[in-house]
Amino acid sequence: MSKFRVALSGHFRNNKGVPALPDFDLHPLEADPDIEYFFVDGDADTNTMTAASLEGVDALILLDELFSRDSIPSDGRLSIVARFGVGFDSVDVTACTANGIAVGITPDGVRRPVAVSVLTFILALSGRLLEKDALVRAHHDFSIRGPYMGQGLVGKTLASVGLGNIGAEIFRLCQPLEMNFIAHDPWADAAIAADLGVELVDLDAVFQQGDFVTLNTPYSPETHHLVNNERLALMKPS
């Protein structure tokens, strides 16, 4: 019986052939005697997987390359495209559906890391960390610290566009900071919002009231340029 053949898109390796994500555990693939895995490069000019390179492949684990209608191999063997991350904008889902190819994402894999990254930015901005770092590296005297003290977070408003997997996790992480929470999401679960202490508001209110605004939405035609000059002008001077 032939093995189940799993292709990993080429960007899982760097230009030296070394794993680009050392913590990405390939042991389950290596340990299964019925699975064969290998790396497949996409087209270098378009960053798109090619149909020819995916002939004879049962499953594709896709990093940040694109998978288009033209990426679908003609042998009909490919059964799933599994995105490493979230969002479907890099995959032609309609074409996959028409050809019986499942498309998967890994929401639990990015929920906490992305939320932690957002919290990191909030803390860095409120504490003016980058400016302080530059001052220290320039060997400025500590006496000039006054204008760079930053601001506390207690009572400030954290606003999110989106209250899904990642948006909700950000509010969970920020619970101890004693901030006010608001969010806009037409599809938000009111029970989850209430449990997190998040007030659901309209989109403009997010920008008007938020001291820190975080965007946690899929990229789509509806969200394209959701943040524009008009909405930025609604924000507080701070």
Q: Walk along the chain (238 residues) and give the pLDDT tens digit of each residue.
A: 689 999 999 999 988 888 888 888 899 999 999 999 999 999 999 999 999 999 999 999 999 999 999 999 999 999 999 999 888 889 999 999 999 999 999 988 889 999 999 999 999 999 999 998 888 888 877 777 778 888 999 999 999 999 999 999 999 999 999 999 999 999 999 999 999 999 999 999 999 999 999 999 988 888 999 999 999 999 999 8
The pLDDT of residue 195: 97
Q: Are 89 and 103 in contact (CB under 8 A)?
A: no
* 122 and 85 in a common domain: no
The pLDDT of residue 76: 96
Q: Which residues pair with 40 in a beta bridge?
A: 9
Domain assignment present for residue 157? The answer is yes
Residue 173 neighbours by CB under 8 Å, 6+ apart: 115, 116, 119
CATH number for the domain harbouring residue 222:
3.40.50.720
The pLDDT of residue 1: 65
Q: How far is CA 119 from CA 78, 115, 122, 228, 236, in A?
A: 39, 6, 5, 23, 20
Domain assignment present for residue 188? The answer is yes
* 200 and 128 in a common domain: yes
* 112 and 101 in a common domain: no
* 128 and 25 in a common domain: no
Q: Specify the amino acid at residue 8.
A: L
Residue 132 neighbours by CB under 8 Å, 6+ apart: 145, 148
Provide the number of structural domains found in the chain: 2
* 160 and 176 in a common domain: yes
* 190 and 153 in a common domain: yes
Domain assignment present for residue 95? The answer is yes
* 122 and 94 in a common domain: no
* 130 and 60 in a common domain: no
What's 187's DSSP letter?
T
* 168 and 63 in a common domain: no
Domain assignment present for residue 62? The answer is yes
Let me know the angle formed at the C-alpha of 147 by 146 and 148, rounded to the nearest 5 degrees.
90
Domain assignment present for residue 222? The answer is yes
* 160 and 101 in a common domain: no
Domain assignment present for residue 143? The answer is yes
Domain end point (choices 86, 105, 124): 105
Phi-psi sector, 211: left (phi>0), alpha (psi -120 to 50), beta: alpha
Domain encompassing residue 147: 108-233
Domain assignment present for residue 238? The answer is no
* 93 and 9 in a common domain: yes
Residue linked to tokens 């799993």:
6
Domain end point (choices 70, 105, 140): 105
* 96 and 125 in a common domain: no
The pLDDT of residue 149: 87
The pLDDT of residue 179: 98
Domain assignment present for residue 36? The answer is yes
Domain end point (choices 105, 140, 161): 105
The pLDDT of residue 209: 98
Q: Is the pTM of this model over 0.85?
A: no
